[in-house]
Amino acid sequence: MASHEEDCSPDTLAFMELAIQQMASHEGDCSPDTLAFMELAIQQARLAMDSLEVPVGCVIVEDGKVIASGRNRTTETRNATRHAEMEAIDILLEHWQKNGLSKLEVAEKFSNCYLYVTCEPCIMCAASLSILGIKEVCYGCANDKFGGCGSILSLHLGSSEPLKSHGVPQGKGFKCTGGIMASEAVSLLRTFYEQGNPNAPKPHRPLAHQATH
């Protein structure tokens, strides 16, 4: 599945920067805690970049405390689904299941959690967050190719008639705020791609008839 972990073209990065300029700044309206949590997500993104991964990071917060963090690990794990959000979600699921929480109890826990992530969740991650019933998502820069929270799809709006599976609501909407420390998030992405993504697919050799033109 295509995602924010794919390569960003110069046009995409230019779009992100333009969006930042055009977007009314949310940082002035943010609490010190919001900025502090987003800074922790930025730190996770830096760890991803240090590991030669696309720099996206996140933290999940409950009752004012960070209970999980994640960074992009798609290359390390050779698994295209290992986005920062999925890493953090799996940490919580494993912890809560070990503690014997039921599916309904896990859903209740998620309904009190906040996600802070450096880039707008992709469609896959936004769908997962909707199914899990996250309370709120705060993100940095927009994801104009694969964003699931307004850029491409608006999965955060949920469904007026959520499906149910084993009594657990599916497809619940959640509050979403973008543009928080967006310039820092884009700066990391630009630095990563300007220095060259060592894990990017090599370009195909031109066809013989194309090479002659």
Q: Give the residue numbers marked as catalytic.
A: 85
Question: What letter represents residue 135's amino acid?
Answer: K
Name residue 176's beta-bridge partners: 137
- Which helix (H) or strand (E) element contains residue 65? strand 65-71
Torsion angle of the four alpha carbons 85, 62, 138, 187, in this order, in degrees rounded to the nearest 10: -60
Q: Which of 103, 150, 147, 109 is nearest to 125 (CA)?
A: 147
- Which helix (H) or strand (E) element contains residue 11? helix 10-22
- Which helix (H) or strand (E) element contains residue 176? strand 175-177
- Which helix (H) or strand (E) element contains residue 169? strand 168-169
Q: What is the CA radius of gyration of the chain?
A: 18
15 CA to centre of own chain: 18
Instruction: Give me the helix-helix angle, 123-132 and 84-98, nearest 10°.
Output: 30
Name residue 113's beta-bridge partners: 62
